[in-house]
Chain A
Amino acid sequence: MSEKYHNNFLKEVEEMVEEGEWVKMCMQCGVCAGSCPLGPHWAHPPQEIFMMIRAGKREEVLRSDSMWMCTSCYNCVVRCPRKLPITHIMHGLANYAHRLGLSPKNQPTQQFATLFWNNLAQTGRVNELKLSLGIYFKDGFAQGVKNAMAMQSVGLGMVKAKRLNPMELFGGHGVKDKAGFHAMLKKAREIEDRRKNFA
């Protein structure tokens, strides 16, 4: 249980979240909030999230879908007068919330990000066709067909332009040293989880 304006949650963020130790350095100028391209879609802009962390609003922060609005454009990072790596803190918070299972259900960016990672982790390189289909079908088969139909012209155009290969569905690009690649990722994950005391 985090108490209001006590440091419990801030400390948790500092320990568990990528670049979380920067949160305390925010001076609430709000330049990040105003710089974000998807700003209007943030229920809580970054600077407010930082204040909420300091105010101990753990649930509200981790259950928020705000961090998932980050497009990784780095506008906030280059403008922040305190040089906070805001993009990474947002990524870190999202990742942490996701690991805890607190992030909102069916958050589309979360789903996409998961698909993306799993996709690349499988072969070492992204299979764009499977990734696209994965997005279309994330909400079930029927919705998937609908989505795919809607984007059909785009897909065909890409195929025609030789920028999408239907054959990718059956294999496609990947690293050769799959065993080494998988072992490496597994190890990295292990080390990080151990450091952060994740089960």
Chain B
Amino acid sequence: MAKKTYSFYPGCSSQTKASSDNYLKSTNSMCKYLDIELKEIPDWNCCGASIGYAEGGELPRITLSARNMALSEQHNPGMDLVATCAACWLSTRESKERLAHSSQTLAEANTALNEAGLTYKGNQAARHMAEVLVEDFGFDELKKGVKNPLQGIKFAGYVGCQTNRPFGLAGESFENPVYLDNLIEAMGGEAVPYDQKVTCCGGALAFSEPEKSQKQIKDIIESAYDHGAEMIVTPCPLCQANVEIYQGEVNKRFGTKFNIPVMYYSQLITIAYGGTAQEAALDGQLVRATKLEEIAKK
């Protein structure tokens, strides 16, 4: 396949030594194997995430995304804008829809953007990296690059919320999306069926309301465990962080003994494509994915 180039929006957590540093690293490795060039949007800003609502209000939030899209249009013309973070993608895509839907919002946003010397036109698609993999490559194509199949490892594909709702990937179901399972299987792993695939991890409330949201995390991990999963895989930095980081807290609160690695699909793909543990940023895990590390050693 010919080289593919995308305008890349990594987002705040996917910066060096930020909370999904490992997502960024493994994404870069994965893209290398897939012959994808990611052209980072110069000087991108935070999308505001969902939680930005309380202080941000509507237009400031939309303007945040509009700035990123305007920068992308200006510097990376003719490309699709691609985000790896679920929240970044959702904010961007939502803003794009609102801007398309309301000429008033568009005019207002551009008035604000004008202060930064920018104009939003709306001529680029806003996509998630998972869409790129599924739609621009497809599972058969992705399968071709597998050198070290993840044989014998059982994964719980944890799709979570924001790559799934309200937009989701084309043709997927909200209650039982299968793209992540298909990705796992394409890499030679086993996707276990379990019933918490799209359960919310608590999102930002994991920080503000830990006692309320840790029940969510517990349900997700428990179901994955019960259905035989050895690792959890997710496309969302916040899902990854919440489900991984709070395992200790959850164990304390619920008397459980969870200790399950929570991975990004980009890490799986990198390893399956013959990448090293370092390329896949396996050292970025709080709970080490020893089985993947073993495969990486081969």
Partners in one complex: yes
Using CB atoms and an 8 Å cutoff, list the residues of chain A in contact with chain B.
18, 37-38, 41, 69, 71-75, 77-78, 87, 91-92, 94-95, 98-99, 108-114, 116-118, 120, 124-126, 128, 132, 135, 153-154, 157-158, 161-165, 168, 173, 175-177, 180-181, 183-189, 191-192, 195
A94 touches B60 (CB 8 A): no
A contact residues around B161 at 8 Å (CB): 71-75
Cβ of B111 under 8 Å from chain A: yes
Bound Cα distance A38, B245 (Å): 20
CA distance A69 to B208 in the complex (A): 10
B165 touches A180 (CB 8 A): no
- Given A38-B212, A109-B208, A109-B209, verify A95-B18 contact (CB < 8 Å): no
Pick from A71, A92, A181: contact of B213, CB below 8 A.
A71
Contact between B51 and A116, CB atoms less than 8 A apart: yes
Evaluate contact between A165 and B17: CB separation under 8 angstroms: yes
Q: Which of B29-37, B127-135, B197-205, B264-272 contacts A (4 or more CB under 8 A)?
A: B197-205
Q: Which residue of A lies closest to B164 (CB)?
A: A74
* A90 to chain B: closest residue by CB: B53
- Specify which chain B residues have a CB less than 8 angstroms from the CB of A163 in the assembled complex: 17-22, 284
Q: Whole-angstrom distance between the alpha carbons of A77 and B53 in the complex?
A: 17
Q: Across the A-B interface, how many residue pairs have beta carbons closer than 8 Å? A: 212
Excluding A184-B118, A185-B112, 20 further A-B contacts by CB distance (< 8 Å) are A18-B53, A38-B213, A38-B216, A41-B212, A71-B202, A72-B161, A74-B166, A112-B51, A113-B54, A117-B54, A117-B56, A120-B48, A125-B46, A135-B207, A161-B22, A180-B117, A186-B115, A189-B60, A191-B108, A191-B111
Q: Please measure, in the bound complex, the distance between the C-alpha atom of A184 and the C-alpha atom of B116, giving whole angstroms.
A: 6
Residues in A with CB closer than 8 Å to B45 are 120, 124-125, 175, 181
Complex contact A161–B284 (CB within 8 A) = yes
Closest 9 CB pairs of A and B: A180-B116, A72-B50, A113-B54, A117-B55, A91-B53, A73-B200, A74-B165, A165-B17, A183-B115
Q: In chain A, what residue has the closest Cβ to B48? A: A120
Residue with the highest number of chain A CB atoms closer than 10 Å, among B45, B111, B117, B162 = B45
User: Which of A153, A162, A184 counts the most B-chain CB atoms under 10 A from its CB?
Assistant: A184
Could you mark each residue 2-21 of chain B with 1 if its beta carbon is under 8 Å from any beta carbon of chain A, else 0? Answer: 00000000001101111111
B208 touches A111 (CB 8 A): yes
**Does B109 sit at the interface, judged by CB under 8 A?**
yes
A contact face: mostly helix, strand, loop, or mixed = helix
Determine whether the beta carbon of B202 is less than 8 Å from that of A192.
no
B165 touches A73 (CB 8 A): yes
B21 to A, closest residue via Cβ: A163
Least CB distance, A145 to chain B, in whole angstroms: 17
Contact of A175 among B43, B55, B57 (CB under 8 A): B43
B100 contacts partner chain A, Cβ-Cβ < 8 Å:
no
Residues of A within 8 A of B52 (CB): 113, 116-117, 120
When distances are taken between beta carbons in the complex, the residues of chain A under 8 Å from B245 are 154, 157-158
Please indicate the chain B residues that have their CB under 8 angstroms from the CB of A184 in the complex.
63, 67, 112-113, 115-116, 118
